[in-house]
């Protein structure tokens, strides 16, 4: 079964909109685990507009499933990761002012840069995944960096799914097959939801984990958090 890691950034966004500590980020993460999530994802940004660096440190000793920290490997981010020592770090090339992640790494252009950072992170015992577009050449470049996994950036799949699921999926399946052949683990994330998740799961070989936040939290407003997590898990069986 592909693991579900719940991204709790939107919980922090809601908290920050009003100040105070409601909803409580740590309690929500623990509840997600209790409701069946197999991982917790956070994506702290330099301006701390949702997840704060302190949230990461508060979560670290309490999360008992896989803790996944996503972000651009700036010096501040890397310092935080080394303090937290999560099970997984996902490197994402997002600009400081990006609303959300919007592109994968150019693993050929930035190969030397990534190789150095990945070696540094693996030295502290954390698994490393890097965010890539569904392009075979980028997957091949990723394999040269020393990363353990790639995370396929699924925005294009999600946006094309309603028009033509098979066409939307094709580049992802090709990239995944190449990743498997190169010995890379495969994660996926971005705009995955209850409509498109099962088809992706059924057609991507070796899919180990999906990270889902925005859509899952939106669904939870209607279905409740516990029920929503169960609905997503059902799509991954």
State the catalytic residue, choosing from 33, 43, 50, 151: 43
Question: Count of alpha carbons within 13 Å of 22, Cβ hemisphere only?
Answer: 1
State the catalytic residue, choosing from 33, 50, 66, 70: 70
* Burial class (CB within 10 angstroms; exposed 0-12, middle 13-18, buried 19+) of 189: buried
Clarify whether 43 is annotated catalytic.
yes
Q: In degrees rounded to 5, what are phi and psi of residue 97?
A: -95, 10
Clarify whether 87 is annotated catalytic.
no
State the catalytic residue, choosing from 50, 66, 151, 190: 190
Q: Quote the radius of gyration of the chain (alpha carbons, Å).
A: 17
Closest CA to 104 of 81, 143, 70, 135: 135
Alpha helices, DSSP H, located in the chain: 9-18, 25-34, 53-59, 75-84, 111-122, 136-143, 155-161, 165-181, 197-203, 214-223, 225-235
Cα–Cα distance, 179 to 142 (Å, whole number): 9
Is residue 219 within 8 Å of 231, Cβ to Cβ? yes
Catalytic residues: 43, 70, 190
């Amino acid at each position: 079964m592909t693991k579900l890691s719940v991204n709790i950034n939107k919980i922090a966004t809601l908290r920050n909109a009003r100040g105070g500590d409601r909803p409580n980020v740590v309690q929500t993460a623990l509840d997600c685990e209790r409701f069946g999530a197999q991982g917790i994802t956070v994506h702290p940004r330099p301006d701390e507009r949702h997840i704060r660096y302190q949230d990461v440190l508060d979560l670290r000793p309490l999360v008992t499933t896989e803790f996944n920290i996503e972000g651009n490997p700036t010096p501040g981010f890397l310092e935080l990761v080394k303090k937290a020592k999560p099970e997984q770090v996902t490197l994402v090339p997002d600009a400081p002012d990006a609303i959300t992640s919007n592109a994968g790494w150019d693993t050929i252009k930035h190969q030397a840069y990534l190789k150095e950072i990945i070696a540094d992170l693996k030295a502290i015992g954390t698994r490393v995944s890097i965010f890539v577009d569904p392009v075979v050449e980028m997957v091949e470049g990723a394999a040269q960096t020393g990363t353990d996994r790639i995370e396929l950036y699924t925005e294009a799949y999600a946006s094309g799914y309603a028009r033509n699921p098979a066409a939307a999926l094709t580049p992802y399946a090709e990239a995944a097959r190449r990743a498997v052949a190169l010995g890379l683990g495969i994660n996926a994330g971005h705009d995955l939801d209850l409509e498109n998740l099962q088809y992706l799961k059924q057609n991507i070989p070796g899919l180990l984990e999906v990270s889902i936040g925005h859509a899952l939290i939106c669904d939870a407003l209607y279905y409740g958090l516990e029920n929503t997590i169960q609905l997503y898990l059902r799509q991954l069986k």
